[in-house]
Structure formats: C-alpha cells, structure tokens
C-alpha cells in the first residue's frame, strides 16, 4: 500500500485491570516502533508511562501518560491508562476521544470480572476496542477458557484472531487465523514465519470456523459463502473485521506478552489495518461535516514551572501555536512523551497535543476559534460518583487559603476528586474513588504546592432532639456600677415531629416584654440549639415565649438573648434529649454472584435491606437497596471491593434521622464531650 496518502494521526488507548501489563506494553510498542531506543521497566522505574513521582513510588499508574510514535509512516498517539478502579476517571476521559481501545488483560479466567467495568464503559459508549491477552508467557489456562470467561462479561462477541503454539509449558508462537500462517516469537525481533505445525491443524480449523461464523452474523455475503462452503479470501475477512470494528460490533482478540515483545508487532499491524480513521471518533462525539477547527480537551495538568497544560485532541481542521480558542490564546503546542514535552508549531486533525496556559479552560471543554461549540456535539460524561472521603486540614493554619487554591487545581486535573465544606461538622472533606486515590492527591498537594495536610475519618453529622417538653424560667440580672443588665423570660419547650426543624412562637400579650426585645430572645434560643445537652445541633423542637419581665433602664437585646440562653441551658436537659444519627438510602451494585455476601455486609453495618433487583442495563449484576447509618459508610467501598474482585460499588444519599441509644450512642456522646473539652 505504498501509494496510500499519509493518514491522519490516530489514537489508541491502553486500558484494562491493574497489573495486566499496560505500561510495559506501551514500552514495548514504543521500542518496536523506534520512538524510544531501549525499553524501560517497571522495576527500574524508567518507563515512559508512570512518569510521575507518585506512580513511580507505587509501581502503579495513577494518571494517563501520552506518547507519540510512528508505525510504517502512520502517526500514532498511544495513551497508557491506570488500571486501578480508583483512577478510572483518567481512562474514561481518554477513551472519549480514542479511535480504538486496547483492553489489556491477563490470561486468567477467574479474573475476568475485573475487566467487566471497562468493557461496560466501552460497550455503553460504542468505542471500538480490541483485546490483548497479555502475559501469555506465564499463562496456565487454555485460551478457549480465557475467552469464554471474558465473553461472559462482554456485550460484543469476542473474535479470536490467533491461536497459540505450545511447546511443553511454553508458548513459542501463534497461528494467525486469517492468513493461516504460523509465526515463532523472536524476543526483541519480529516473529519468524514457520510452517503450521501439524498438531495445530485441528485447533486452527475449529478456531477459524468460530471466527468466520461470528463475522457472518454481521454480513450476508460472508454467511452465504460459509453456507456454500466457499473459503472467503483473507482480504475479505480483513475488510470485514475493520468494518465491524469501526461500528463496534465485534472485539478482535490478540495474544502476546508485552514484556518479551511477543505479539506486539501483530498488535501494531492489527491497529494499523483495523483502527477506524478520525471521522469515526468525531462522529461519536457528535461532530459531522466541515467547518472551523474543533478541539476537545480530555485532560488537564498543572505543572509547577510550565503552568497549566490542557491535553486535547484535534477533531477537525488544524491549529497553530498562538491561535485563540474559546477566547484563550494557546501559548505553546506540545507533543508528549510521558512527562517530556516537545514544542510543535502546528497540530493537524487527529493529533493529540498539550495546549499551554489556557487558564479558563477545563477538561471536557470543546474549543473552537469562534468560541461556539458546533451544534450536535455530545456532552462530556459526568464525573464518577465519589465513594470515599477524608476530612483534610492544613497542618499550618495560615495555609488555609493556599490549600483552597491547590484543591481547586487538583480537582481540575482530576474531576473524580471533589471538595465539600461541611456546614454541620465544619470540616473540609475531600471526596474521591478510594484510599489510594486520596492518598495520592494528598501527596501531590504536599509535593507540588508545598502544603502539608493532615487527614482523618470525617465526622458524622449527628444531631439531637428531645422526647418530651418542659416549662422553664430564665433570668439574667447583673448590677455592676452604672448601667445594669436585666432580661427575664418564661419559655415552653416542646418536641416537634421528625423533620420539622425548629419553630419559635411568641405568645406574650400585654407587653410583659417589649416587642423590640422578642427577636433577641429567639436569637438566644437559636444560638443555644447549635449545641444541645449532648453536644450536637438540636432539631425538631418548638420554643414558645410565654411570659417575662423587663427593666426600663437595664434591659437590652444582649440581656434578653442571655436570659433565653439560660432558660434553654436549664430546660433542655429535663426534656429527655436523645441522639439522632443520619440514615442514608444506599444502592449497592455488584455482580449477582456476590449479592448474598452484600446482604451480610449490610446487616453487619446495622443496615436494613429494602430489596434487590437486576441492575438495569447491566447483564448479570444486581442492585441492592438499603437504609444504612452514615457512620457505617466510611469504609463500605473497601469491603465491597474486597468481596467483588474490586468491581462492586455504591451510591448514597441522606434519607432521614433516626434515634440512636445504648452503648453506641454513649460512645458518640463521650467522644464529642472529649473533643469539646480539648478545643
Ligand atoms: N510474565 C509477564 N509479566 C509481565 C508482562 N507484562 C508485564 N508484566 C509484569 O506485570 C507487572 C505489571 O506491569 P505493568 O505494565 O505495570 O501493568 P499495568 O498496571 O497494566 O500498567 C510488572 O511487574 C511487569 O513486569 C508479560 O508479558 N509477561
Ligand atoms: Mg500501568
């Protein structure tokens, strides 16, 4: 195909479970295509992916890494994504602009479930994807069993393109099911063509028939050929695979071992032949036709020295350094190789580039010179629902303002991170996807912004109420030299039904207290209710001002406010105060083989199951609804993940307050008293 005109740059995104070998595979792809002279390794910490300090320290990807290369003159952007479910937002955002995803997974049938969430995302968004079954060098299971297990979690049919050639325990090469050629792996070099071993004939025939039958489901001509026992030409089969992949109808499956460069050139060829051109991804984003350049931002970095970098894909047209997009001038167009940037004067359609110093621009923004998004462009998906939180504080109190600024930048870099200032507990609460996610964020704040944080389990916004009423007199009288202070009130405290909040009534007739002092009485009561006899905000009470007296000279707003406080302080403990704890409506979603375990988790956390049902749109998953105390949700995600190979999740919202008594209540009240004494 030497006469072909050069293609526009395409983007392949490497996704898949944690430790499946994506970062290693990227290294192998870059070395095989000559983008880097020598492969780095995870162990030595010198890979293009995992280039941040936080990733290196954990030997684990915690953000995307973008790399550029060329294969047989075709320009490529390859993006390595973290596999951990806690950093899934990174992969989701990169996939939105991808031409193809390569789902890298291990050849372990028991772990197929770990691939389910990413396959679900790809299926839901119609993103063309292939599967690369990696670590075949150590694979114990048969490929057909691996495939069957993965098929159970994929909506689209998987189409195996190769079968392995085994010598004893080792896999020494593969037979390509379309060209019907056999290859022997040569580490560090392209595989060598060999004759198909005789022992392979039957397996090859069987797998090839399966491949053709699957493809025939999407093509009548192929179906006819099969029925008439005509062998379709390899060209026809290749064409069919590309066509089906473009429409995300099938998932081609390749085999290999990235660490040993096995199957890496085969993967590159499959990418080259089968990955759709830019127009497919643009269409998916809702962009069609011609017009001004369109650029989609899918990642934001804040670098200490170079400032903000918005990583974007050019979906249409081309842009030059210095152009104004959405009102911001691009200061530097960069290609990336992990954290190394290189300046480019121009980015063409299909390119992935870092745009320098676009300060008002956010991840998900669609940029054009005119500043208007083209009609029909699809909205950017909402960030993942947060499932884990920590209360954070600057170690040094003077750093509070600096902390708010740093947090805002962190959230810009990672939309699955969020900050909540709790009105009830007065804590700054950082929300995210799990323990490691938040740990990494806290480390970043420390290293990038030189801010030390302390973190703790967030406080639960307990409340308190009363179970009966009382009448109470409160008097504040002070004679100190000239002007005295005098306020005198009679109040009646009553409980209100749950959810009613607070009511204040004035029942004074005949001017026992002059009108202008009444609001101060109410203020005194409200002030008291911030902290009731048990130490928490009081809710669901009514206070009626029934009588009182005043002094023509010594009475004041302040004196009546104080008198009201005195009445409340003395009256409330007589009203049988009781602790209220927030109860949430929780929806837990898990593969249905784990539903019974979830029921145990809920009862173990004082929850109450409301019911469970099949999760809409999720084959084989259940949703369990329950009422659960908020105090037991803190580490719920950790337990759910530990019983579901990491894939279970939950969402929650506040539902109601419920009385809490007994030992648990005593503990909560005791701790609150201790903290009050300490502060
Ligand atoms: N046996 C074997 N190990 C591999 C292969 N590819 C990667 N690994 C190892 O698997 C571990 C995880 O690799 P990494 O690339 O960080 O996985 P990622 O989490 O998917 O990015 C590392 O210890 C690699 O050395 C492979 O093809 N075969
Ligand atoms: Mg990785």
Task: Quickly list DSSP for 514-541.
Answer: -GGGHHHHHHHHHHHHTS-TTSSEE-SE
Instruction: State in Å: Cα 92 to ligand 1 middle.
Output: 21
The yes-or-no answer to whether 10-279 and 389-456 have a common fold is no
For ligand 1, whether the C-beta of 436 sits within 6 Å is no
CA distance 587 to 247: 33
The predicted pLDDT at position 412 comes to 94
| C-alpha to C-alpha distances, 12 to 27, 129, 267, 277, 615, nearest whole angstrom | 14, 9, 11, 11, 31
CA distance 280 to 100: 10
The residue contributing the CA closest to ligand 1 atom 1 is 135
Three-state secondary structure call for residue 190:
strand
End-to-end CA distance of the chain: 76
**Atom number in ligand 1 closest to CA 20:** 20
For ligand 1, whether the C-beta of 538 sits within 6 Å is no
For ligand 1, whether the C-beta of 151 sits within 6 Å is no
The predicted pLDDT at position 2 comes to 43
Ion ligand 2 residue ranges (Cβ < 5 Å): 22-23, 61
Three-state secondary structure call for residue 437:
helix
Instruction: State in Å: Cα 43 to ligand 1 middle.
Output: 10
389-456 CATH fold: Alpha-Beta Plaits (3.30.70)
For ligand 1, whether the C-beta of 21 sits within 6 Å is yes
The predicted pLDDT at position 170 comes to 86
| C-alpha to C-alpha distances, 598 to 388, 570, 602, 621, 641, nearest whole angstrom | 18, 46, 6, 12, 11
Q: Encode pLDDT of 137-156 as tens digits.
A: 998 899 999 999 999 999 99
Angle among Cα 621, 627, 630 to the nearest 5 degrees reads 110
The predicted pLDDT at position 11 comes to 98
pLDDT band of residue 4 (cuts 50, 70, 90) is low
Are β-strands 333-337 and 352-356 bridged in parallel, bridged antiparallel, or unpaired? antiparallel
Instruction: State in Å: Cα 39 to ligand 2 middle.
Output: 15
- Region 504-531 average pLDDT: 95
For ligand 1, whether the C-beta of 618 sits within 6 Å is no
Name, of 48-52, 508-512, 546-550, the range with top average pLDDT: 546-550
186 against 421, higher pLDDT: 421
CA 628 to chain centre: 23
Three-state secondary structure call for residue 323:
coil
Q: Encode pLDDT of 211-243 as tens digits.
A: 999 999 999 999 999 999 898 999 999 999 999
Q: Which of 127, 138, 131 is nearest to 153 (CA)?
A: 131
Name, of 162-171, 303-312, 647-656, the range with top average pLDDT: 647-656
For ligand 1, whether the C-beta of 22 sits within 6 Å is yes
Domain 464-575 - what CATH class?
alpha beta
For ligand 1, whether the C-beta of 259 sits within 6 Å is yes
Residue 267 near residue 257, CB atoms below 8 Å: no
295-367 CATH fold: Elongation Factor Tu (Ef-tu); domain 3 (2.40.30)
Residues shown for the chain: 679
The residue contributing the CA closest to ligand 1 atom 13 is 21
Residue 327 near residue 376, CB atoms below 8 Å: no
581-674: CATH, from 3.30.70.240, 1.25.40.10, 3.40.50.10490, 3.20.20.80: 3.30.70.240
The predicted pLDDT at position 59 comes to 85
Q: Encode pLDDT of 483-502 as tens digits.
A: 789 999 999 999 999 999 99
For ligand 1, whether the C-beta of 18 sits within 6 Å is yes
CA distance 518 to 506: 8
Q: Encode pLDDT of 473-488 as tens digits.
A: 999 999 876 778 999 9
Q: Which of 148, 145, 153, 147 is nearest to 133 (CA)?
A: 147
The predicted pLDDT at position 423 comes to 87
What the block records as the tokens of 92 is 């989701």
For ligand 1, whether the C-beta of 257 sits within 6 Å is yes
Ligand 1 pocket, mutate which of 17, 21, 49, 91 (most atoms under 8 A from CB): 21
Residues facing 130 on adjacent strands: 102
What the block records as the tokens of 609 is 């199951």
- Region 356-365 average pLDDT: 95
The residue contributing the CA closest to ligand 1 atom 8 is 21
The predicted pLDDT at position 1 comes to 43
Percent of residues, the chain, with pLDDT higher than 90: 85
Q: Encode pLDDT of 553-610 as tens digits.
A: 999 999 999 999 999 999 999 999 999 999 999 999 999 999 999 999 999 999 999 9
For ligand 1, whether the C-beta of 106 sits within 6 Å is no
* Nearest listed ligand to the Cα of residue 55: 2
When the pLDDT of each residue in the chain is averaged and rounded to a whole number, the result is 94
Ligand 1 pocket, mutate which of 14, 15, 18, 19 (most atoms under 8 A from CB): 19
What is the dotted CATH code of the domain comprising 10-279?
Answer: 3.40.50.300
pLDDT band of residue 669 (cuts 50, 70, 90) is very high
76-80, 230-234, 454-458, range with the lowest pLDDT: 230-234
- Region 657-667 average pLDDT: 97
pLDDT band of residue 5 (cuts 50, 70, 90) is low
**pLDDT greater than 70 at residue 3:** no
pLDDT band of residue 6 (cuts 50, 70, 90) is low
**Atom number in ligand 1 closest to CA 262:** 27
Instruction: State in Å: Cα 283 to ligand 2 middle.
Output: 29
Q: Encode pLDDT of 596-628 as tens digits.
A: 999 999 999 999 999 999 999 998 999 999 999
For ligand 1, whether the C-beta of 65 sits within 6 Å is no
pTM above 0.85, yes or no: yes
Ligand 1 pocket, mutate which of 259, 266, 338 (most atoms under 8 A from CB): 259
The residue contributing the CA closest to ligand 1 atom 7 is 21
What residue spans define the domains of the chain?
A: 10-279, 295-367, 389-456, 464-575, 581-674
The residue contributing the CA closest to ligand 1 atom 12 is 19
Ligand 1 pocket, mutate which of 26, 39, 40, 42 (most atoms under 8 A from CB): 42
Neighbour-count burial for 389-407, b at 16+ CB within 10 Å, e otherwise: bbbbbbeeeebeeebeebb
pLDDT band of residue 308 (cuts 50, 70, 90) is very high
Instruction: State in Å: Cα 30 to ligand 2 middle.
Output: 15
**pLDDT greater than 80 at residue 188:** no
- Region 74-79 average pLDDT: 97
**Atom number in ligand 1 closest to CA 26:** 15
**Atom number in ligand 1 closest to CA 104:** 20
């Amino acid at each position: 195909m030497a006469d072909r005109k050069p293609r526009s740059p395409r983007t392949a995104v490497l996704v898949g479970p944690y430790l499946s070998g994506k970062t290693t595979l990227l290294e192998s792809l870059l070395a095989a295509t000559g983008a880097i002279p020598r492969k780095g390794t995870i162990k030595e910490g010198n890979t293009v992916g995992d280039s941040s300090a936080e990733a290196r320290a954990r030997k684990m990807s915690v953000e995307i890494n973008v790399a550029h290369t060329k294969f047989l003159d075709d320009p490529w952007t390859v993006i390595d994504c973290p596999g951990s479910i806690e950093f899934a937002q990174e992969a989701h955002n990169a996939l939105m602009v991808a031409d193809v995803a390569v789902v890298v997974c291990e050849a372990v049938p028991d772990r197929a479930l770990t691939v389910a969430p990413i396959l679900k995302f790809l299926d839901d968004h119609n993103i063309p994807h292939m599967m690369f079954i990696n670590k075949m060098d150590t694979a114990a299971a048969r490929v057909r069993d691996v495939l069957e297990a993965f098929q159970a979690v994929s909506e689209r049919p998987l189409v195996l393109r190769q079968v392995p050639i085994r010598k004893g325990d080792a896999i020494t090469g593969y037979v390509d099911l379309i060209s019907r050629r056999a290859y022997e792996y040569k580490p560090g070099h392209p595989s060598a063509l060999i004759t198909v071993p005789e022992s392979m004939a039957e397996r090859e025939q069987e797998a090839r028939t399966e491949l053709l039958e699957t493809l025939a489901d999407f093509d009548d001509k192929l179906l006819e050929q099969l029925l008439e026992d005509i062998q379709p030409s390899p060209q026809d089969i290749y064409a069919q695979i590309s066509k089906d992949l473009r429409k995300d109808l099938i998932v081609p499956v390749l085999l290999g071992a990235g660490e040993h460069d096995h199957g890496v050139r085969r993967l590159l060829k499959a990418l080259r032949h089968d990955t759709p051109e830019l127009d497919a991804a643009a269409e998916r984003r809702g962009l069609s036709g011609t017009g001004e350049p369109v650029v989609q931002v899918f990642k934001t970095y804040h670098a200490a020295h170079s400032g903000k970098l918005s990583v974007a894909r050019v979906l249409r047209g081309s842009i030059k350094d210095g152009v104004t997009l959405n009102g911001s001038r691009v200061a530097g167009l960069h290609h990336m190789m992990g954290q190394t940037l290189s300046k480019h004067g121009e980015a063409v359609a299909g390119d992935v580039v870092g745009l320098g110093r676009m300060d008002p621009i956010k991840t998900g923004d669609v940029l054009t010179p005119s500043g208007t998004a083209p009609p029909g462009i699809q909205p950017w998906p909402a960030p993942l629902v947060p499932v884990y939180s920590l209360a954070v504080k600057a170690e040094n109190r003077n750093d509070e303002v600096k902390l708010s600024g740093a947090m805002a930048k962190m959230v810009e870099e990672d939309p699955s991170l969020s900050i909540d200032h709790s009105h009830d507990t007065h804590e700054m609460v950082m929300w995210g996807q799990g323990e490691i996610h938040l740990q990494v964020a806290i480390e970043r704040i420390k290293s990038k912004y030189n801010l030390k944080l302390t973190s703790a389990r967030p406080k639960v916004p307990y409340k308190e109420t009363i179970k009966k009423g009382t009448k109470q007199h409160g008097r504040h009288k002070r004679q100190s030299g000239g002007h005295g202070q005098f306020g005198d009130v009679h109040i009646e405290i009553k409980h209100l039904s749950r959810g009613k909040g607070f009511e204040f009534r004035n029942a004074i007739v005949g001017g026992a207290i002059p009108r202008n002092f009444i609001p101060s009485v109410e203020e005194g009561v409200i002030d008291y209710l911030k902290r009731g006899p048990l130490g928490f905000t009081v809710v669901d009470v009514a206070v009626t001002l029934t009588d009182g007296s005043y002094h023509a000279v010594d009475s004041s707003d302040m004196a009546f406010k104080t008198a009201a406080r005195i009445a409340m302080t003395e009256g409330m403990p007589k009203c049988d105060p009781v602790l209220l704890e927030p109860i949430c409506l929780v929806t837990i979603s898990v593969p249905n083989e784990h539903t019974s375990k979830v029921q145990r988790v809920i009862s173990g956390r004082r929850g109450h199951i409301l019911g469970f049902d099949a999760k809409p749109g999720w084959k084989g998953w259940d949703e369990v609804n329950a009422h659960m105390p908020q105090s037991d949700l803190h580490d719920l995600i950790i337990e759910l993940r530990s019983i579901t190979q990491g894939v279970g999740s939950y969402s929650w919202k506040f539902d109601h307050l419920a009385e809490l008594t007994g030992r648990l209540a005593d503990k909560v009240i005791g701790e609150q008293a201790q903290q009050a004494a300490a502060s």
